[in-house]
Amino acid sequence: MSEQSLPTLPMWRVDHIEPSPEMLALCAGGPIHRVRFPSGHEGWWVTGYEEAKAVLSDAAFRPSGMPPAAFTPATVILGSPGWLGSHEGSEHARLRTIVAPAFSNRRVKLLSQQIEAIAAQLFETLAAQPQPADLRHHLSFPLPAMVISALMGVPYEDHAFFAELSDEVMTHQHESGPRSAALLAWEELRSYIRGKIRDKRQDPGDNLLTDLLTAVDQGKATEEEAVGLAAGMLVAGHETTVAQIEFGLLAMFRHPQQRERLGSDPSLVDKAVEEILRMYPPGAGWDGIMRYPRTDVTIAGVHIPAESKVLVGLPATSFDPRHFDDPEIFDIGRAEKPHLAFSHGPHYCIGEALARLELKVVFGSIFQRFPKLRLAVAPEELKLRKEIITGGFEEFPALW
């Protein structure tokens, strides 16, 4: 392929909600593609399922927050102390161990009834609104905000404040773009978290911030690492789930037969959630996860030089025809096969159990509570949050 003809990323960003025939053909045409990034750098885009797993589990690749000097991470959060994507090996394992109890089966189980109560409360509030109503305002945004606030031990009343900062932090910032606003927002968010962690000395509890304070007191983490861990969890634990609920609802509205199946048989909710995650993975507006090989590597017969940019296209792997039958079809009864929506390897999403639980609570009951729920506009009229890495929509108007 000539230099002039290299395809330029972003390619998978959801300008048309679902992958175009051209994208599906590209995925079927091979597992690794040489591309040009928006920064002008050349690199490789991995779309094959097995090839993506190989890259994500290979210690020869640096994680997204540890790029070579020639590259800058896409957002200021990558590369920050305490952000898990900015560490590897034993340091990554040490930090991950500190936050793991907050996402344990015990903690998630304790949150289960609380999440169900939150969803029921939000449904009742939604039902009282004049139609059409914005599901982003009344459901997809507040539910994850309430859940992450409870898990972390921060006041829900602060959600508008930290969400605004989170949006700025998660805005695409390419190598050539300005980063001052994002850096200021990140520092303000870290300052907020620093104060909340210190507050736990007088008001401890069964929450992540208390866990982090204990880790600092025991010498298992520095205060800056604890602040970075908490701020990262706040951003990742909120933003991605908001978008996932919205993309899941859109999937059901765009595939009414599947929505009817789920409405008449709520026992399908587990499979429905996995199909939503497969076809509309977290941050479905994002292209994937960056990795950087320390040495020359060869994957699927493709030679990749050391210090290159390698984008693991998690959304694209869901359409690898070698792994999924008829991958372009949204089918909530699909035979279960593992997807990579939560990544793979050492950096597998630590909050996946909580994210799955939130989605199961929403999709296991929303169509029973609102059997006639539907979009108030045509799908193409929804405005994507294209500048936010995690995706989602500006508004999500609905009728019921």
**Structure token digits, residue 254:** 């765009």
Paired strand residues for 35? 43
Work out how many domains the chain is built from and give that number: 1
DSSP β-ladder status, 133-134 and 397-399: antiparallel
Each residue of 164-198: pLDDT tens digit?
888 888 776 554 455 688 889 989 999 999 999 99
The SS3 assignment for 85 reads: helix
Q: Would you state the pLDDT for residue 176? A: 46
Which CATH number fits the domain that encloses residue 71?
Answer: 1.10.630.10
* Domain span including residue 345: 21-399
Q: Would you state the pLDDT for residue 172? A: 64
| Band of residue 120 on the pLDDT scale cut at 50, 70, 90 | very high
| Band of residue 116 on the pLDDT scale cut at 50, 70, 90 | very high
Residue 352 has pLDDT above 70, yes or no: yes
Task: Name which of 6, 33, 64 is nearest 302 in CA terms.
Answer: 33
Residue 293 contacts by C-beta under 8 Å, 6 or more apart in sequence?
60, 61, 62, 304, 305, 306, 307, 308, 310
Residue 206 has pLDDT above 50, yes or no: yes
**Structure token digits, residue 19:** 């992958």
CA distances for 17 relative to 47, 171, 250, angstroms: 18, 19, 9
Averaged pLDDT for residues 96-117: 92
Each residue of 27-60: pLDDT tens digit?
777 899 998 887 788 999 999 999 999 999 999 9
Averaged pLDDT for residues 208-215: 97
What count of other Cβ atoms lies within 10 Å of the Cβ of residue 216? 18
Residue 300 has pLDDT above 80, yes or no: yes
Each residue of 65-89: pLDDT tens digit?
898 888 876 677 777 788 898 899 9
Each residue of 364-384: pLDDT tens digit?
999 999 999 999 999 889 988
Residue 285 has pLDDT above 50, yes or no: yes
Paired strand residues for 311? 45, 290
Inter-helix orientation angle 142-152/223-254, to 10° = 150
Q: Would you state the pLDDT for residue 283? A: 62
**Structure token digits, residue 319:** 């359409």
Residue count (the chain): 400
Least confident of 135-149, 172-186, 330-344: 172-186
Decide: 296 and 307 in contact? Cβ < 8 Å.
no
Percent residues over pLDDT 90 in the chain: 66
Q: Dmax of the chain from CA atoms?
A: 63
Residue 132 has pLDDT above 80, yes or no: yes
Q: Would you state the pLDDT for residue 222? A: 95
Residue 302 has pLDDT above 90, yes or no: yes
The SS3 assignment for 67 reads: coil
The SS3 assignment for 117 reads: helix
pTM of the model: 0.92
Any domain includes 373: yes
Any domain includes 8: no
- The b/e string for 154-168 (b: 16+ C-beta within 10 A; e otherwise) is beeeebeebbebbbb
Residue 84: how many CA atoms within 13 Å on its side-chain side? 22
Any domain includes 1: no
* Averaged pLDDT of the chain: 89
Cα separation of 392 and 166, whole Å? 14
Q: Would you state the pLDDT for residue 4? A: 54
Q: Would you state the pLDDT for residue 240? A: 87
Any domain includes 314: yes
Cα separation of 193 and 188, whole Å? 9
